[in-house]
Amino acid sequence: MGEASLLAEIFGPLHCTSPFSGCDRDIDKYGGIILWLLIMFYMFKALGVICDEYFVPSLEVIVEKLEVSNDVAGATFMAAGSSAPELFTSMVSTFLIVNAGGVGTIVGSAIFNILVMNGVVAFVACKEQELKIWWYPLTRDCIFYLISILELVVFLADEEVKTWEGLIMIATYLSYCLYMKFNPKIVRALGLVSPADVVEKPSEEVVVTPEAPSGQAVGKNGMDAIVPQPTLPPDGDKPKWSYRAAANLSTPATGETPDGDEEEGPYVSHIKTEAAVEAVTEPEPISTSEEEVPKTCLRRYCRDPIVVLWEWTMPAPERMSGFALFSLSIFWIGVCTYVMVDSTHRVGIIMTMPPFVMGLIFLAAGTSIPDTLGSIAVAKQGEGDMAIANALGSNVFDILIGLGVPWTVRSAMPDKEVTFPGQFDDFKWDILILVLALILFVVCLAVNRWKLNRTIGGVLIAIYLVFVLYQLLAVFVFKWKQLEEEA
């Protein structure tokens, strides 16, 4: 089953000659798959919690201490924070439970991000109006994305990845980060202007007069008009990068944390309505009725045990150094990812489904949830460019770092190699689907004049459902038919 499977050590190695019933272990023959599926989904949820509550906050503390600029932080730390599950899945599949599940997860996650993430963003955030997408960042990220896909195809063509090939992938990602560092200067050099920076002229010219009180102005027709006075931060205070503020789904438009503290970030609006301010300054009184007390007690004692364990082992970021919290988060992400891959692989054996397909469908969807939530949050704030860039940037990170780093390390180890014998035919068709999905997405935006709407979102989601159905049919129909013919 693999080189280091915990479930194989506890319940014994598993071999199945036919789906579901043809297994040599009683627990797997009589409903064990339900247990492994529950463990798999529980690990999906656990990874989402630990990344959002501990890993990403530790990155924010590190970014602040290192004084990293917003653009570099977004291209590196934000990508690492949201793509940590995919990276660790690839590491587990490369070093511990060795199979093609890591490649399947990365490729499947890329397809999921292009079709489902962007589709859900369009369907949720474009309910009232379309999102304008600027062609420049989309083109920039697509170019690096296509380069990463090209490298993946070329390096997998001989079904063996060498150390120098992995180093090229890592170097390509570093060049992507370097480009992002100089991106503002490049935009200015090309004379490009973001649509978000274009201010539409008001229908009526407003002239501020010295006689008018602060915030008061006189229109050309003689009527008074109120001119909003922006509140500027003090000189030298630059907004700090904050993924939590951007990905906070509770109050995404105000940039407030669940504790009521305001977090500043380049992608979070600081303009609050009076209702929003009142909601923070005047919280509702805590109900002490007889009906509410049992519910409070129930929430206190019936909590997720793994969350309680993390509260014991990983204090809040403000009570420990960012590097210490980062190390502890890495440890627990590794543990959860290992259990997730192990249980998923055992499910695949019971269903006689190849590890590559299990990663392509199940692991890809489970590990892409943090990315999807973050993109939805910033899209609701009107940041369509950032939502799309998150999807494409995460895909670039997944391919070049998520695969490049584990492959480089393993291929450089004595008596170790990274090989995928007889599997390139499976890889190439799904990678082709990945490229076609990207082309379809860009064409839809171009035809719609670079605007994202719910129609495009529905089309993208429908295409992904067809893709999943095709993968399942390819396994359950064609493979089962092959097994019957062999029998």
- What pLDDT score was predicted for residue 60? 77
Within-domain flag for 273: no
Within-domain flag for 380: yes
Please state, in angstroms and rounded to a whole number, the distance separating the CA atoms of residues 366 and 44.
5
Nearest to 457 by CA among 156, 23, 130: 130
- What pLDDT score was predicted for residue 462? 93
Q: Which domain holds residue 355?
A: 6-196+305-486
Nearest to 206 by CA among 216, 196, 197: 216
3-class secondary structure for the chain?
Answer: CCCCCHHHHHHCCCCECCCCCCECCHHHHCCHHHHHHHHHHHHHHHHHHHHHHHHHHHHHHHHHHHCCCHHHHHHHHHHHHHHHHHHHHHHHHHHCCCCCHHHHHHHHHHHHHHHHHHHHHHHHHCCCCCEECCHHHHHHHHHHHHHHHHHHHHHHCCCEECHHHHHHHHHHHHHHHHHHHCHHHHHHHCCCCCHHHCCCCCCCCEECCCCCCCCEEEECCCCEEECCCCCCCCCCCCCCCCHHHHHCCCCCCCCECCCCCECCCCCCCCCCCHHHHHHHHCCCCCCCCCCHHHHHHHHHHCCCHHHHHHHHHCCCHHHCCHHHHHHHHHHHHHHHHHHHHHHHHHHHHHCCCCHHHHHHHHHHHHHCHHHHHHHHHHHHCCCHHHHHHHHHHHHHHHHHHHHHHHHHHHHHCCCCCEECCCCHHHHHHHHHHHHHHHHHHHHHHHHCCCEECHHHHHHHHHHHHHHHHHHHHHHHHHHHHHHHHHC
Residues with Cβ within 8 Å of residue 194, at least 6 apart in sequence: 134, 136, 187, 385
C-beta separation of 127 from 454 below 8 A: yes
- What pLDDT score was predicted for residue 308? 86
Residue 386, judged by CB atoms within 10 A of its CB (0-12, 13-18, 19+), counts as buried
- What pLDDT score was predicted for residue 83? 81
pLDDT tens for the chain, 487 residues: list them.
Answer: 446 888 988 888 888 877 777 788 888 888 889 999 999 999 988 888 888 788 878 877 877 777 766 556 666 676 677 788 888 899 998 888 888 888 989 999 889 989 988 888 888 877 777 888 888 888 988 999 999 999 999 999 999 999 999 999 999 999 998 898 888 889 899 888 877 666 554 544 445 444 444 444 444 444 444 444 444 444 444 444 444 444 443 333 333 444 444 443 333 333 333 333 344 444 445 444 445 445 554 555 678 888 888 888 887 766 667 788 888 888 888 899 899 999 999 999 988 888 888 998 889 988 887 677 777 777 777 777 777 877 888 889 999 999 999 999 999 998 888 999 888 887 888 899 989 999 999 998 899 888 888 888 899 999 999 999 988 888 777 665 665 555 5
Within-domain flag for 225: no
Angle, helix 118-125 to helix 454-473, in steps of 10 degrees: 140
Residues 350, 354, 355, 358, Cα dihedral to 10°? -80
Residue at 129: amino acid letter: Q
Within-domain flag for 224: no
- What pLDDT score was predicted for residue 146? 94
C-beta separation of 352 from 18 below 8 A: yes
Within-domain flag for 251: no
Within-domain flag for 70: yes
Nearest to 354 by CA among 11, 92, 104, 28: 104
- The torsion region of residue 422 among left (phi > 0), alpha (psi -120 to 50) and beta comes to left
**How many other β-carbons are positioned within 10 Å of the β-carbon of residue 426?**
19
Number of folded domains that form the chain: 1
**How many other β-carbons are positioned within 10 Å of the β-carbon of residue 64?**
14
CATH number, domain of 138, equals 1.20.1420.30
Within-domain flag for 322: yes
Decide the pairing of beta strands 216-219 and 131-132: unpaired
Within-domain flag for 264: no
- What pLDDT score was predicted for residue 486? 56
The pTM score is 0.73
